[in-house]
């Protein structure tokens, strides 16, 4: 037999083996997807390194060559990786925060008529922390005048140093509630620990989870048991995937009213406190059905670029922006450099409103 026909004969043997391997790989993938579903239902993890190690050992013991054990391990590791990817893709489609249809939008309604999500652009504003009744009253009056419906009523502050002002606690919440009632606003406040939930529930209309607590799964689960909306800030080192899975914790525990807030991520930039990741807005809009708000204060850490950031937020497709406002920022007990005074806040509102008319119904 000539070399050419021998080659053809051998190649003809290879082709059906390829098809068999293909068929077996896909059969294996189907079973892996089934396993993934069972794991998801029982709340266990998709990736199990122990199981992977056991399979590799069994394969190496059974391997009679000519492939070396190392080659066999590498080949199967590739199969495992591809399977894990497939399982993750499959699981992703079934998570609650994931947008299932293009027109699926969560809209969160509050007692004063505020609606967050996909219809309007709303402003959340207020001082970094409640410092006194007079301070909150001055801000509340301006917010009401400008049609803002939600005020920050922060009683507890997550500060870098334990020696810095930590917030007025329940006293601060009482003030926030009083001022909100006076001006027809709703109050949102950061909950630093799950033990504070029952007390805070007396005063607030929505719970706020700060960047530092984004992955506190116990807190997220506890908020998932509440009936009030939860605003979740992105951690400064969190990927978008980690962010949406944090929201999933709240939703999977039973609370579907989740609002996402992009607040900037940590980069090498020295001129801003964080870097506003504006691409997070269209990406989160694409991936989830939840409202998305842009924090223009903590993302920059400086008030001089609040207006351009506000304009960017307005046309980004976000559902609103959050800004810190204080009657006298220079003497603020926290975040003095980034809070706007009342006049600057009015200017920001004018700017955001005027860009909205210029870019009516358009998003960038
Ligand atoms: C805040 O908005 O009050 C705050 C503390 O911001 P962050 O959690 O994003 O740092
Ligand atoms: Mn602040």
User: Sorting pLDDT into bands at 50, 70 and 90, what band is 89?
Assistant: confident
The model's pLDDT over 50-76, given as tens digits with 9 standing for 90+, comes to 999 999 999 999 999 999 999 999 999
172-217 per-position pLDDT tens digit: 999 999 999 999 999 999 999 999 999 999 999 999 999 999 999 9
Return the CATH number at 50: 1.20.59.10
Q: Are 188 and 207 in contact (CB under 8 A)?
A: yes
Q: Is 158 in the pocket of ligand 1 (CB under 6 A)?
A: yes
Least confident stretch, 40-49, 111-120, 136-145, 245-254: 40-49
First-to-last alpha carbon distance for the chain, in angstroms, is 68
For the CA of 233, the nearest atom of ligand 1? 9
Report, as an integer, the average pLDDT of 282-290. Answer: 97
Residues 136 and 230 in one domain: yes
Which H or E run includes 347? Answer: helix 342-358
> Can you give the residue range of the structural domain that contains 229?
108-363
Beta carbons of 139 and 155 less than 8 angstroms apart: no
- Chain segment 296-333, per-residue pLDDT in tens: 999 999 999 999 999 999 999 999 999 999 999 999 99
Pairing label, strands 115-116, 292-295: unpaired
For range 85-90, the mean pLDDT: 85
Task: Assign 362 a pLDDT band (cuts: 50, 70, 90).
Answer: very low
Mean per-residue pLDDT of the chain: 95
99 belongs to a structural domain: no
* Ligand 1 and 234: CB distance under 6 A: no
Q: Is 60 helix (H, G, I), strand (E, B) or coil?
A: helix
C-alpha of residue 335 to centroid of ligand 2, in Å: 5
User: Would the CB of 326 count as within 6 Å of ligand 1?
Assistant: no
Buried b (16+ CB within 10 A) or exposed e, 123-155: bbbbbbbbbebebbebbbebbbebebbbbbbbb
Q: Are residues 87 and 130 in the same domain?
A: no
CATH number of the domain that 343 lies in? 3.20.20.70
**Which among 92, 124, 149 is the end of a domain?**
92
Ligand 1 atom nearest the C-alpha of 154 is 3
Total of domains in the chain: 2
User: Is the pLDDT higher at 15 or at 39?
Assistant: 15
pTM: 0.78
CA of 199 to the centre of ligand 2 (A): 22
Q: Are residues 285 and 200 in the same domain?
A: yes
CA of 298 to the centre of ligand 2 (A): 6
- Predicted confidence at residue 46, as pLDDT, reads 65
Extract the tokens encoding 332. Answer: 């603020």
In this prediction, residue 363 has a pLDDT band, given cuts at 50, 70 and 90, of very low
Residue with tokens 């691409």: 279
């Amino acid at each position: 037999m000539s070399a050419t026909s021998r080659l053809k004969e051998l190649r003809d043997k290879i082709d059906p083996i390829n098809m068999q391997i293909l068929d077996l790989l896909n059969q294996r993938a189907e079973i892996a997807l089934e396993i993934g579903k069972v794991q998801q239902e029982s709340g266990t993890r998709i990736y199990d390194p122990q199981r992977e190690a056991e399979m590799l050992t069994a394969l190496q013991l059974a391997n009679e060559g000519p492939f070396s054990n190392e080659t066999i391990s590498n080949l199967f590791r590739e199969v495992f990786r591809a399977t894990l990817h497939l399982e993750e893709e499959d699981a992703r489609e079934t998570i609650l925060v994931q947008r299932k249809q293009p027109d699926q939008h969560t809209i969160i309604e509050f007692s004063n008529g505020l609606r967050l999500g996909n219809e309007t652009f709303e402003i959340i504003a207020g001082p970094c922390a409640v410092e006194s009744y007079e301070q909150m009253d001055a801000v509340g009056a301006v917010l009401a005048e400008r049609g803002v419906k939600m005020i920050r009523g922060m009683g507890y502050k997550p500060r870098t140093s334990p020696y810095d002002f930590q917030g007025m606690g329940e006293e601060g919440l009482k003030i926030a509630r009083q001022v909100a009632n006076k001006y027809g606003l709703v109050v949102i406040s950061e909950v630093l620990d799950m033990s504070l939930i029952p007390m805070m529930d007396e005063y607030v209309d929505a719970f706020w989870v700060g960047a530092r607590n984004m992955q506190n799964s116990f807190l997220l689960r506890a908020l998932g048991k509440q009936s009030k909306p939860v605003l979740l800030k992105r951690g400064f080192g969190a990927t978008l995937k980690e962010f949406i899975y944090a929201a999933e914790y709240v939703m999977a525990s039973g609370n579907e009213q989740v609002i996402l807030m992009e607040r900037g991520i940590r980069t090498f930039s020295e001129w801003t406190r964080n870097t506003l990741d504006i691409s997070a807005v269209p990406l989160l809009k694409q991936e989830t059905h939840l409202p998305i708000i842009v924090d223009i204060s903590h993302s920059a850490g400086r008030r001089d670029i609040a207006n351009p950031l506000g304009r960017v937020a307005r046309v980004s497709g976000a559902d609103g922006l959050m800004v810190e406002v204080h009657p006298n920022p220079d003497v603020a007990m926290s975040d003095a450099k980034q809070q706007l005074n009342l006049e600057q806040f009015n200017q920001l509102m004018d700017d955001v409103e005027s860009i909205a008319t210029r870019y009516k119904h358009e998003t960038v």
